[in-house]
Amino acid sequence: MTEKEAIRQEIDALDQELLTLLNRRQSLAQTIGRIKNKEGRGTLDFQREEEVLAHLMHLNPGPLSPAALRNIFREIISAAREVQIPFGVAFLGPEATFSHLAALKKFGRATRYGPLTTIQEVFSEVEKGKYQYGVVPIENSTEGIVNVSLDLFADTSVRICGELYLEVSHDLVNKSGQRADIEVIYTHPQPYAQCRGWLSAHLPEIPIIEVASTGVAAQKAAKNPNAAAIASSFAAPLYDLRVVESRIEDQPGNVTHFFVIGPDAPGPTGRDKTTILFAVDNIPGALYKTLKPLAERELNMTRIVSRPAKNENWRYLFFVDLDGHQSDLAVAAALEEVRAISAHFKLLGSFPRAAGVENLS
């Protein structure tokens, strides 16, 4: 027996052992599911899942990379959920949009997914309970806030129960893979804005047609040999397209921030964020006074964004992210003060902070 054959034999033995252990883990997950049912609790436990992943990261001696470890155990956890109680996750579709990729990164492939046509529909179907969770874009590092998502948090009852940062890279794809065949380009407005410089430099005469998502763009390019789409690398094989040019975004390191929306209120993990929205009276110093309770308790405010209120001219809603969980004593006390001062106040949720940026692979 050669050295290579001996090593392969050892790998085969380890695979059999892994299979036995994975099935044993699934059996335990089924038992946990039955206990949750008796207790009237939902299947998904963001707090527990983050604790499991964080513990494994701490124990990992390598050479398995942190990213690989997260990917492997994300799928193991996803399969465990599936044998408990299957649930649905909505996203801005069709398949191969960045929202779809973010959902796969967060929930794994064993989950039932629902591609919907608009972000508004994602909020609506989650609020009605047709899907237990939704994944929606909230901000891009290049193009800024996704205003429609912010507005819908103000208008619906859904909560934020998780987050994810996803690397964003855009490819130009078409049927042939040849630039000479392109007579029109389909794109969502956000990717177009992120690739405008490259398009102006390389395809300035080609008309641009905006569509609802990168997935729709890929679908249209798949039906027209003279069309191209700006889409993710994941879209090309899914829609039988070829890459004309990869990574055409103008700014490298482009990242989109997604929120997971749903009915849950995850418990504290020690690495949490809280999001609130509020309105203030139109008087001098109102915003300063409203934010003062956060500063007095040295709570780190990581983002503040304003949006016009839809029901009153020249009234603005402020969306604030801060470090900590709503159950933390300092956070709870500060939020109570902010609530008392505000003309309108809404706690959108506390949730585990994302561990880092997820790559596309």
Please indicate, yes or no, if residue 14 is contained in any of the structural domains: yes
Of the three residues 262, 289, 304, the one that is the final residue of a domain is: 262
Question: Do 158 and 231 fall within a single domain?
Answer: no
Task: Let me know whether 157 and 175 are in one domain.
Answer: no
Higher pLDDT, 236 or 77: 236
Q: Is the dihedral of CA 211, 197, 235, 86 positive or negative?
A: negative
Largest Cα separation within the chain, whole Å, is 84
pLDDT by residue (tens digit) across 219-239?
999 999 999 999 988 899 999
Q: Are residues 78 and 109 located together in one domain of the fold?
A: no
Mean pLDDT for the stretch of residues 322-337: 97
CATH of the domain at 96: 3.40.190.10
Tokens 């139109």, residue located: 282
Per residue in 84-138, pLDDT (tens digit) is 777 899 999 899 899 999 999 999 888 899 999 999 999 999 999 999 999 999 9
Residue 203 shares a structural domain with residue 153: no
Q: What is the mean pLDDT of the chain?
A: 90
* pLDDT greater than 70 at residue 163: yes
pLDDT of residue 115: 95
pLDDT at 329: 96
Q: Is residue 20 domain-shared with residue 39, that is, in the same domain?
A: yes
176 in the same domain as 164: no
pLDDT of residue 40: 65
Provide the CATH number for the domain around residue 42.
Answer: 1.20.59.10
Using pLDDT thresholds of 50, 70 and 90, give the confidence band for residue 42.
low
- Total domain count, the chain: 4
User: Residue 329 sits in a domain of what CATH number?
Assistant: 3.30.70.260
Whether the per-residue pLDDT at 33 is higher than 70: the answer is yes
Last residue of a domain, one of 227, 262, 297: 262
Residues 6+ apart with CB under 8 A from 149: 119, 136, 137, 138, 259
- Domain range for 308 is 272-352
Domain membership of residue 359 (yes or no) is no
Domain assignment present for 190: yes
Question: Do 239 and 177 reside in the same domain of the chain?
Answer: yes
Output phi, psi for 269, to 5 deg. -115, -10
Q: Are residues 276 and 336 in the same domain?
A: yes
Radius of gyration of the chain (CA): 23
Residue 48 has pLDDT above 60, yes or no: yes
The DSSP symbol for 250 reads S
- Under 8 Å between Cβ of 349 and 265: yes
User: Considering 83, 107, 126, which residue would you say is the last residue of a domain?
Assistant: 83
